[in-house]
Structure formats: structure tokens, C-alpha cells
Amino acid sequence: MSKKFIPGVISANDLREGHVVYMNDAGQWVLRLRDAAFLDDPVIAEMWLNIANAQTEKVVGAYLAPATLGPNGPEPAHFREAFRATGPSIELPHSNLARS
Amino acid sequence: MFQPSDFDSAAIRARAAQFRSQVARRLDGSLTEDEFKPLRLMNGLYLQLHAYMLRVAIPYGTISARQMRQLAKIADAWDRGYGHFTTRQNIQFNWPKLVDVPDMIDALADVGMHAIQTSGNAIRNTTTDAFAGAAADEIADPRPYAELIRQWSTDHPEFQFLPRKFKIAINGARADRAAIRAHDVGLQLVERNGEIGFQVFVGGGLGRTPMIGKELRDFLPAADLVPYLESVVAAWNLAGRRDNKYKARIKITVHELGIEAFSDLVEAEFSARRAAFKGADQAILAGLKAQFAPPSLPARESVSFETALNVDALLRDWAARSVSAHRNPDYAVVTVSLKDHGAPPGDATSDQMRLLAELAERYGQSELRISHEQNVILPHVAKADLPALFETLRKGGLATANIGLTSDIIACPGMDYCALATARSIPLAQQIATHFRDLGLEQEIGTLKIKISGCINACGHHHLGHIGILGLDRAGVENYQITLGGDAAETMALGERAGPGFAYTEVIPALERLLRAYLDLRQSQAESFLEALRRLGPEPFKDALYQEAQRHAAQ
């Protein structure tokens, strides 16, 4: 019935600004994947996910994003998560007047 | 040019104020995301991979210079200085912050624009031929009818809980430049015994179950358009499936019931509904026709343009791709490419938007169009002004002479932006464009439509590409299926899958083998890729695609 558990990190989008965020060991939302809490225990992962989902005033769409643990912290386990972590793979168009 | 009525302006302002209040309540915690999501989607606001995305309606792809300038201002003030024109003739901003969106919506309302019904299970923006009202091969201008449909469908009380989204396209010319039979309803303006009417198609669509629309009426008198459309949507609203979102579109309803049975449902609705229409729609239509009347174009000489063509090879190359016949022989329809080699297809910077607005004011009756092929059209340019227009476009990086060629690719945003995507689209489009330019083969290959989708939902219309590319996730790796023989024109056809997919780095070499095979196989330079494919069948092209792969497999 339940899907096979895949280790990962809690990720979501920031409610006010929309950017990608991750939850760290202290339950705070941070910008870098490598700073996220790595969750390889299904029970703990579900507990953290429940905590994240309760923070509807801060984030949108929290989920367990597949990751592996590398030497500097969690790393993406799927190319979608790699793009979420680093932004578009292309150079963005730019004009002279735009804000940075 | 069409101006929104006071009623429309007030409705847009009221909706903007309503959405501002909804955003405030979401931010202060009064609304949960589950409560807020349908409200934001009703106003075109998605949450994508890296950010929110605001999809703004450009009704039937028609936009004024003033509105284009406002889009540039919005891109600079609240986004990252660019926007993305879509295959549905809309524009998307990729980086808005939720806290800024109410200001963006207000700025849109300042110029009569909005994001209403650009998302969700609604009747979406009616799309048309981007050359409407200007093309030499036009039977009638589809835009008054498209605007009538916009007014009828906006907040229509009966259609607030449709099974799924609903897309209508109208074409008024002999050539189909609106891909009408790939829509839930496709309308072709026709003339019969001096009377204008519509050939009506239903149940077309792409996505995971691609289908070409079937004829529902061979001639619908133009005066019956709104009650008839209402009958089609009403029949589907009742008969359409709500148990499975993948089977909810009208194409499945028509497919499962059969066109005759579905037609019976429509006609049963129509007999009752037709009687309820007492002429208000026709009075509105008459007013719209006056507003969409062709601009008065003074007579201009065109000899200077012919002379310039003879001496300026760059102008000649550009004109050969970008200039189309206008109904007034002194004038031309100009397609400005948003597909500079190596640039993301359909993206325009705010500087480019301002330049296009300025050129529309200087040379083009202050009018612009967005094509479903993600380019920008100046519909009424005097031929005498074309050399000066070309020079200005060239300085602004907008004079790429590639319309209809290999690099004029339709591509969805793909996994560089989209939360639904299963693979990237844009970098492939960029690489294809630069690769064939660098090989010097683009002119040689000639007319070719490549269309790329980053998931099965087919926003990049890959089924309709002469060469279609569909990006998928195969066991955690990007993989691209190639289809051959699709066609978006009046000779519409769905491409057929050529065989197993290719890894990201294998796509360009495979396409090069395919297109070199075409150059060897064609009868003459006049035979396009699609014509050669139709004459020979797919086998020799598949052999070329898979030759290298088979060799690897055999090793």
C-alpha cells in the first residue's frame, strides 16, 4: 500500500516569495540543500513532514525530496531536485533596466 | 483598435481588488493554502519549481503598443526583466513574489489587462491567427468573434464547475495558422453563398491522448455562434467525465460517445438555447466588428522596398522569412523572431518589449500580435518602411531571419521552470538552433517545424511538429522521444513515435543524422522535410535516426 521509503530532506516553497526552501536540524527553513536535515528514518521523516505541513503561514507544498548524504551534507538524488536546488540550467535573459 | 468597455474595466478592477484582499488574507494566515490555491489559479497564479508564475491573458494574441510597454514595466518592477510568450498567445512572468502580485495585477488593469481564466477548469483565452485582420488570404477577421466569446465565457455562471479546462481557437484565413483542430473546439470561418459561417470541429487536443478535432457542423451560420458554443459546452458539462481528470476533456467525451451521439446532445441543447437568444449577442457583435474594422492605411509606394531588396542581401534574407502578404499590396505583415539562435524560445526582455512597442507606434498602427509559434507580429507595416524597420530590429537583436526554419522552435518552459515537467526543453531548443546554424545547414534544410515538450501534457505541441521531441523521466534520467510527421496546418496530422527515446546528449547527433538523411533523400530543394517524409514514409528516416544507436547496440 505505502510507497517504498526514499531518504531525503524536507523541501517546500516560501509562501511570500516562492523560492525553494529546506528544513534544517533545528526545524528552520534555509535556502541551501546542503544545510538541510537529512532524513533516513521513515518515522522521523513523517514526523518532520507533519511539522512542515503545519507551517502553512510560512511555506507551500512541503514534501520529502529524495536526497543522498554527501561529504558536505545532503545532495539531490534526482535531476529534478538538482534543478530545484540550483535554479534553471540556462542563462536567463536580461535587460538593462531590470532589478537584479 | 478594440478598447475594453467601462463594464470590462470595472470588472477587471473589481477582480484586482478582490484578489488583493485574498492575498492579504493568505499572508495573514486567515486562508490556508488549500483554500487559497483555487483563488490564485482563478487569477493565473501558479507555483512552479523555483517561484510563482503569473500567466497574463493576451486575448486572441492582440496587444497594443501601450500594453506591451506596460508588460515591460511589470517585468522590470516585479520580475527579472523579461517575460515568456506562450503557445496560447499569452505571456508568463516567471519570478513574481506573492506579496507583489496584487500590484502587478493593478498595473495590468491600468491598461485593460488581467490574468482571469488563464488557469483552472475554465474556458481559456480564445486563440486565433496572429495575422488576423491583415492577411491576404483571409475570409473574415476572427477577432470580433473571439472577443464575443471572451465576453460570453468570462465568469459565465453555468460554466463555473467544468470537468476540465476548455480551449477554443478560431481561424479566419484559408491557411490554418491557429491549429484549430488541436483544440476542444476549433472554428474555421467559411463563406457559403455569400453568407459567413463556421465549420465547427470538436474534441481535438494534445496532451497524453492526442486527437484531431472531428467535424461537428459543416456550416454554422455566424449568428448562431454563441448559442451553439453554449450548447457544446453544456453538453460536455453534463456528459463529461469527472471521475478521472485524464478522461475529463471533451476529446474523451466525443471519443467515447462517438461524434453522432455527441452531436445529438449538442443539437438537443441548441434547439432550446437558440430560442433564448433574442439578439443582444448580435448587437454586441456589430459593435465589435466596428471596433475591429481595419485601420485606414494610406497608399504608399513600394518601389523603394523592391530596390532595397536588390542591393541589401541581409534585408533580402530577413524579408524572405519574416515578411508575409498583406491584403493591401502597399503593406506587409511582419513576423519578428523571438528565436534568436541560442536564446530561450518565446522569451523577450523588457528592452525588446519596449523596442517592439516603439516600432509598432512608428510603423505599425500601434498594434502587435503574439503568435502561437511564440513570435511577435507587426500586422500593418508599409513596405516602404520595411528597410528602416529591419535596421532598427537588427540593432535591437530582433532581426533573426529564421521564421519557419530549423531554429524557429516551439518549446515549453520544461524543467527549467515548470513543476509538471519531466525533462528540460529550453536547452535542447538552444542547442538545436546553434548546432544547425554552426553547421551552415539551416537555410539548406529550409522549412522545418520542430516542437519540444518537457512532459506528456504537450504545451510545446510536440505531436504537431514535423519533428516532435518529448522529454520524459526514464528511471531518473532525462530521455527524449522523437515523433515524425506531425503538422499543425490545415493538413493537420499527429506525429508518429519513431522508436526508443534518446538520452539528452544523444538528441542533437540523432537529429543531425535525420536531417542529413533528408537532404540526401529529397527530390529537390523545393521538397520540404515533411513532404519528403510523406512521399517516402518514415522508414528511411527511422533508419537514419537509429543507425548509430544500432551500431552501438551491436558492439
Q: pLDDT for B197-214, tens place per residue? A: 999 999 999 999 999 999
pLDDT tens, position by position, B120-165: 999 999 999 999 999 999 999 999 999 999 999 999 999 999 999 9
CA angle (B505 as vertex; B504, B511 as ends), nearest 5? 90
Q: What is the pLDDT of residue A3?
A: 73
pLDDT over 60 (residue A52):
yes
- DSSP assignment, residue B243? S
Q: Is the CB of B505 inside 8 Å of chain A's CB atoms? A: no
A88/B417 Cβ within 8 A: yes
Chain B residues with CB under 8 Å of A83 CB are 49, 415-416, 424
Q: What is the pLDDT of residue B4?
A: 85
User: Has residue A97 been placed in a domain?
Assistant: no
A89/B416 Cβ within 8 A: yes
User: Has residue A100 been placed in a domain?
Assistant: no
User: Among residues B362, B445, B371, which one has the least CA distance to residue B396?
Assistant: B362
Reported ipTM: 0.93
Share of chain B above pLDDT 70, in %: 99
Please tell me which of the candidates B81, B95, B478 has its beta carbon nearest to residue A95: B81
Q: What is the pLDDT of residue B547?
A: 82
CB atoms within 10 A of CB A32: 14
Q: Which of A80, A81, A86, A100 should we substitute to test contact with B (largest number of B Cβ atoms within 10 Å)?
A: A80
**Contact (Cβ atoms closer than 8 angstroms) between residue B460 and residue B410:** yes
Q: Which residues are A9's β-sheet partners?
A: A65
Q: How far apart are the C-alpha atoms of B442 and B304, rounded to whole Å? A: 29
Average pLDDT of the residues in B18-42 = 96
Note whether B6-109 and B303-395 share their fold.
yes
Q: What is the pLDDT of residue A51?
A: 96
Q: How far apart are the C-alpha atoms of B53 and B39, rounded to whole Å? A: 14
**Contact (Cβ atoms closer than 8 angstroms) between residue B384 and residue B302:** yes
Contacts of B56 (CB under 8 A, 6+ apart): B44, B71, B90, B91, B92, B93, B108, B113, B114, B115, B118
Chain B residues with CB under 8 Å of A97 CB are 76, 81, 350-351
Q: How far apart are the C-alpha atoms of B304 and B496, rounded to whole Å? A: 47
Which CATH topology does B410-554 take? Sulfite Reductase Hemoprotein; domain 1 (3.30.413)
Considering the segment(s) B303-395 as one domain, its CATH architecture is Alpha-Beta Complex (3.90)
CA angle (B468 as vertex; B516, B498 as ends), nearest 5? 70
User: Å from A55 to nearest chain B CA?
Assistant: 10
Chain A residues with CB under 8 Å of B49 CB are 20, 80, 83-84
B549: pLDDT confidence band, cut at 50, 70 and 90?
low
User: Has residue A2 been placed in a domain?
Assistant: no
pLDDT tens, position by position, B171-203: 999 999 999 999 999 999 999 999 999 999 999
Segments making up each domain of chain B, as ranges: 6-109, 135-291, 303-395, 410-554
User: Å from A72 to nearest chain B CA?
Assistant: 23
Q: Which residues are B81's β-sheet partners?
A: none
Q: Which residues span the domain enclosing A35?
A: 8-86
Q: How far apart are the C-alpha atoms of B139 and B497, rounded to whole Å? A: 36
Three-state DSSP class for residue A90: coil
Average pLDDT of the residues in A12-32 = 97
Q: What is the pLDDT of residue A97?
A: 45
B3: pLDDT confidence band, cut at 50, 70 and 90?
confident
User: Has residue A79 been placed in a domain?
Assistant: yes
**Contact (Cβ atoms closer than 8 angstroms) between residue B57 and residue B116:** yes
Q: Which residues are B368's β-sheet partners?
A: B63
Share of chain B above pLDDT 90, in %: 97
pLDDT over 80 (residue B1):
no
Please tell me which of the candidates A17, A78, A90 has its beta carbon nearest to residue B430: A90
Measured N-to-C along each axis, helices B350-363 and B65-78 cross at an angle, to the nearest 10 degrees, of 170
In total, the C-beta contacts within 8 angstroms joining chain A to chain B are: 102
Q: What is the DSSP string of B104-129?
A: HHHHHHTTT---TTSSSSSB-PPEE-
Q: What are phi and psi of B20, to 5 degrees?
A: -55, -45
A84/B50 Cβ within 8 A: yes
What pairing do the DSSP bridges indicate for beta strands A29-30 and B323-325? unpaired
Chain A residues with CB under 8 Å of B27 CB are 15-16
User: Å from B88 to nearest chain A CA?
Assistant: 21
Total-model pTM: 0.96
Mean of the per-residue pLDDT values for chain B? 96
Three-state DSSP class for residue A56: coil
CB atoms within 10 A of CB B550: 12
Q: Which residue has the cell 543522498?
A: A68
pLDDT over 70 (residue B17):
yes
Q: What is the pLDDT of residue A99?
A: 40
Q: What are phi and psi of B459, to 5 degrees?
A: -60, -25
Average pLDDT of the residues in A47-73 = 96
User: Among residues B452, B373, B319, B341, which one has the least CA distance to residue B131?
Assistant: B373
Q: Is the CB of A87 inside 8 Å of chain B's CB atoms? A: yes
Q: How far apart are the C-alpha atoms of B98 and B45, rounded to whole Å? A: 9
Average pLDDT of the residues in A32-46 = 97
pLDDT over 80 (residue A98):
no
Can you give B352-411 as a three-state secondary structure string?
Answer: HHHHHHHHHHHHCCCEEEECCCCCEEEEEEEHHHHHHHHHHHHHCCCCCCCCCCCCCCEE
Average pLDDT of the residues in B72-85 = 97
A80/B27 Cβ within 8 A: no
Average pLDDT of the residues in B439-468 = 97
User: Å from B49 to nearest chain A CA?
Assistant: 6
CA-to-CA separations, B435 to B95, B153, B409, B508, in angstroms, rounded: 30, 44, 13, 8
What pairing do the DSSP bridges indicate for beta strands B347-349 and B82-85? antiparallel
pLDDT over 70 (residue B550):
no
> Which residues in chain A (18-77) have CB-CB distances under 8 A to chain B?
18-20, 56-57, 60-61, 77
Mean of the per-residue pLDDT values for chain A? 92
User: Has residue A24 been placed in a domain?
Assistant: yes
Chain B residues with CB under 8 Å of A96 CB are 351
Average pLDDT of the residues in A37-64 = 96
Chain B residues with CB under 8 Å of A15 CB are 26-27, 33, 98
Instruction: Please state the domain count of chain A.
Output: 1
**C-alpha dihedral sign at B5, B8, B9, B10:** positive
User: Has residue A76 been placed in a domain?
Assistant: yes
pLDDT tens, position by position, B374-423: 999 999 999 999 999 999 999 999 999 999 999 999 999 999 999 999 99
Please tell me which of the candidates A19, A80, A92 has its beta carbon nearest to residue B80: A92
Q: What is the pLDDT of residue A100?
A: 38
CA-to-CA separations, B411 to B61, B217, B344, B471, in angstroms, rounded: 18, 33, 8, 11
CATH number for region B135-291: 3.30.413.10
Chain B residues with CB under 8 Å of A61 CB are 33, 47
pLDDT tens, position by position, B474-486: 999 999 999 999 9
CB atoms within 10 A of CB B523: 10
Chain A residues with CB under 8 Å of B50 CB are 18-20, 84, 87-88
User: Has residue A98 been placed in a domain?
Assistant: no
Average pLDDT of the residues in B77-83 = 97
User: Among residues A84, A92, A91, A86, which one has the least CA distance to residue B82?
Assistant: A92
Which CATH topology does B6-109 take? Sulfite Reductase Hemoprotein; domain 2 (3.90.480)
**C-alpha dihedral sign at B295, B134, B123, B235:** positive
Helix (H) or strand (E) run with residue B200 in it = strand B195-202
Helix (H) or strand (E) run with residue B324 in it = strand B323-325
Look up residue B164 and give its three cell numbers: 476540465
